[in-house]
Every structure is written in structure tokens, then in C-alpha cells.
Structure 1
Amino acid sequence: MYSPTGAVLIFLLTLFGSGWSYLEHDSWITIQLHHSLATASAEFSYRGNITIPSLNSGLSNVAQVPLTPGELELMKELANKNEFYRLKATVVYSNGSKQKFLTSNKACRLLQAHLNDVLWISLDPSGFVTSVTASQDAAPGIVECSPENTRHLDDVDFNTDVLIRHAELAPVPDTASFIQKVEREREARERGEVRDNRGFLAKYWMYIVPVVLLVFISGATNQEAGK
């Protein structure tokens, strides 16, 4: 039988451990992407959908619609004004719950990258999304966008790489086994079943050493007195 304290600690450890079971059982999520192509506009249009069938594997299926000629012109206007391109990501879990995230980058950088971007998805230890961030690599040698250097940028197809970052856990001590061991030792002591199997010297060295020292000191004193 465990003491009440030990039982409570073991229960809490079990409950705590159950919080990490999301990735152990694995699951899937989908991410709906909508973007805003107008300055300070609250309207977002559909960009595409990302399906991640396994959070553990991190593999993803990306389906995105190309920009229309009108949307490309709006993107160029944002770039020429040095405005931000805003992307809204709606995460849908297997149980139907949803989370929304908003990320933004300079429209100029996205055009310079020919609509190639990276979507970083960060997961907490329980497998839930904590952030969705988009990033691009700017073309070398170009700092700002202007009508002159955006006129030839006519890419309309998004090419997105999806990368998943898992939170790393620190090593967890085996506290449950330690508590069980302490409980067994305590119960054995109460029943008088604890036996000391150590040798004679290991048991009584704290008594033997002072006696030996006393004899040694006494012998040395007697030798000095004889001289």
C-alpha cells in the first residue's frame, strides 16, 4: 500500500505524462491560407490549403491557387509602396477545433523571391501549433522595390515549403520509481524486515577507528615518557 502522499505524487506524474500523448498517438492537421493584397484592408482572399497527415513525419500536401492578373498588380502596388503582404493561417485539428495565426512580410521581398516562401509551423510538446510564420529570401543586389524593378516580375504561382519545428523536452527523472522504492523501504522498516547485510567493518567502522586512534596515541605517549 502507498502512503497518501506517494499515491498523490504518482497520480500527478501520471496525469502530467498524459499531456505528452498527442504526438505519441500522432494526428493530422490542415491549414487554410488566406492573404490580403490591399493596404490596411480587412478582406482576405483564398490562397490555398496545406494538409499534414502526420505531425510526427512532417510530410505535407500543399495546394495553392495562382494569382490572377489583377491580384498580381495589387501585389506590385504593395511592393512599390513598401507595404506588408499579410497571410492568415487557420489551423484545423482532427477534433474540429481551430486556431488562427497572422504573419506578414514585405510584399517586395515576396516578389523578389518569385513567390517562393517557407512556412514555419511550431508545435508545443503536446502537438498543438504555437505559431505559423512565413519567410522569404530576398534576391541579391535588390534592396527596395520600384515600378522599374518590379515590372518584369510576373510570377503568379506560389511555391511553398512547409517546415515543422517540434519543441524539445528536457530529460525527465523517473520520479515514480523512486517514490515506489521509498515506500517499499518504509513499509519494510515498519514490519522489521530490513536487514543489514554489510560486513563487520562496514557496520562498526565509526566505533573502531576512534579506539585505534586512542590506542595509537596512548602508545606514542608511553614511548615518549620512557625516554
Structure 2
Amino acid sequence: MKLLGYFFITSAFLCNAYAGGSDKLESDFFDGPEVNIQISHAFGKEESSETFRPRGTVDIRSFKGPKFTAEQPDLSLQDLDLLKEVASEDGYYFVKFSTKGPSGVKSFRTFIPAKALLDSGLSDVLMVHLNPASDIYAISYSVARNDYFTAPHVLGNNRPPPTHFNTTVIVHYGEIGPVPDTAPYLEKLEQERISKERGDDTRDNRSFLAKYWMYILPVVILVLLSGASNPEEGGGR
């Protein structure tokens, strides 16, 4: 599939669950219907559907020079403490994306080490893959950095842990590739079939000798000449 372009959106998810923000994509390629992504997450050693809680939403809107809207509450102190605890135990951060498109409702799940998310300062990357019908066929997730606590800061080691997500959204919007031209091939097969039915098959059906006699004949002559010279040599002895 040929990609028309990459659309990069960078935004800090907002602290208020009911307040939204929007940024403009630096491209005019995207012109599909609005795409809504519901995000849920969980922390722990193992994935369990009962532990998933809403994290927020991302709306990719169908404007020329499209926009997105993201709504996300801050992590609660309870969730932040849980993330720290899971990270210290080498646990995982599980994330689930639910979306409804032309082909129906889809769900995508993945996970990363909880420590990687914590070390990134909750800076993550959401990569959305759309087909020409603006239907999501894949979503990938990763962290954007891993030096939140080690990078220089005015507060030094007392830098507070992050409580809101700083997310980069990348949209891959593809188009249908060229369709193979099978008409000439099918026409050739049909012509061969008709020729065979008429008995005027142009394929070479001659026997092996009929095809390669000009190569076999010189070899036979050489063998005969060699055999004819041997009796004379024997008689000379």
C-alpha cells in the first residue's frame, strides 16, 4: 500500500476531562469522515479486561488541513502510585483502543513495560493506520522518550512525577495501489484454448529425435569413425 503522507500531531492531553484542545495537521491529504478512538488502560502483571479503565479519547476530524481533539483527565494519585508500584515490580502498562468505522467496531490492545512509561514522563506515541475508506486497520503504541527523570531540570532530583499524558499522534493514510492488468493474460489463455480445440496448436509436439537429430547425428558419426579405426590398430600389432 502506498502511503500518501505522514500526519504528525503533538499535544499534551488536557488536565480536565471535560476540556478539549485541538491542533492542525500540517497536511491537506486527509479528507475522510471523523475518526473517534476510545482509549482505556490498566496496570499490572497480567492483562485483565475487568481492570481496564477509561483513559480518554482522540477524535481525528475530516477537515482539509484536519484537526484532532483529545480529552484526558490527569492520572489520579491512586493510579500514579499504582503505576510506580507496578513499575518497581517489572509489571506492564496495558492499553486498549476501541474505534467504530465503516467496517464496524474494532478493538486493538498492546502493552509496554510500566517502567518505560514512567521514565518517559508519560510521553507516548500513538500511530494510527487508515485505509482509503478512513477505516482504521491498525494502531501501534510506544513511548517517545526515556530520560524524564535523568534530563537536567531546575528541581534536580526533586522533579515531580508527571500526571498527564504528552502524546504524539501519527496518522498513516494510504491509497489503493495499482490493480494488476490481467486482461491480456486471460485473453492469451483463451486464444490458446481455442487453438487447441481447432487442432492448430502452435506448440512444438515433435518427438525427442525429431527435435534434436542435428545434435545427435555428429555424435553417432564420431562413434562410428572411432570404432572403425580400432580394428586397424589391433591388426598392426
- Fold shared by both chains (TM-score > 0.5): yes
Runs (5+) with no aligned partner, structure 1:
1-22, 144-149, 183-227
Q: Please name the residue that 1:115 is paired with.
A: 122
After the TM superposition, which residues 124-143 of structure 1 pair with which residues of structure 2 at under 5 Å, given as runs? 124-140=131-147
> Are the aligned partners of 2:149 and 2:159 in contact in 1 as well (CA < 8 Å)?
no
- AA matched with 1:68: S
Residue 67 to residue 151, structure 1, CA distance change in 2 (3 Å): farther
Q: Percent identity between the aligned chains?
A: 28
Structure 1: distance between partners of 2:158 and 2:86: 13
Deviation digits for residues 7-58 of structure 1 (CA, Å, limit 9, x no counterpart): xxxxxxxxxxxxxxxx997211211111002332331011001111128755
Unaligned runs of 5+ in 2: 1-28, 151-156, 188-237
The 1:25–1:119 alpha-carbon spacing in structure 2 relative to 1, beyond 3 Å, is: closer
The TM-score with structure 1 as length reference comes to 0.55
Which structure shows the higher strand fraction? 2
Q: 1:101 aligns with which of 103, 108, 119?
A: 108
Question: Which is helix-richer, 1 or 2?
Answer: 1
Q: Does 1:70 align with 2:70?
A: no
Paired amino acid for 2:139: V
Distance 1:24 1:47 in 2: 26
Q: Is the 8 A contact 1:109 1:137 kept in 2?
A: no
Q: Residue 26 of structure 1 contacts residue 56 of structure 1 at CA under 8 Å; is this kept in 2? A: no
Match of 2:163 among 148, 156, 171: 156
Higher relative contact order (CA 8 A, sep 6+): 2
Aligned residue number for residue 59 of structure 1: 67
CA RMSD of aligned residues (A): 3.4
Query: How far apart, in 2, do the equivalents of 1:123 and 1:36 lie?
Result: 26
How does the TM-score come out when normalised to structure 2?
A: 0.53
C-alpha separation in 2, matches of 1:104 and 1:65: 20
